[in-house]
């Protein structure tokens, strides 16, 4: 499994957890928040965001 695939999997799991928390709290995202999230995910898919790079201290 490549690093990109692992990160995509982690991001998907985080999104699923956030959705579950949102449902549990009975709160919904505002329309502005939904639009911002959709735009951010679109930019990520298009490669317009800065990649996450982990630096190890050794």
Per-residue confidence (pLDDT) for residue 48, from 0 to 100: 86
Report whether 57 contacts 12 (CB < 8 A). Answer: no
Model confidence pLDDT, tens digit, residues 9-51: 999 999 899 888 877 766 667 888 878 878 988 888 898 887 7
Alpha helices (H) along the chain: 3-25, 31-45
Sequence spans of domains, the chain: 3-45
d(CA 35, CA 37): 5
Q: How many C-beta atoms lie closer than 10 Å to residue 29's C-beta?
A: 13
């Amino acid at each position: 499994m490549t690093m990109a695939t692992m990160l995509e999997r982690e991001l998907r799991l985080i999104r699923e957890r956030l959705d579950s928390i949102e449902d549990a709290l009975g709160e919904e995202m505002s329309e502005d928040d939904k639009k911002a999230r959709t735009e951010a995910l679109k930019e990520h898919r298009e490669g317009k965001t800065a990649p996450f790079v982990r630096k190890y201290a050794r």
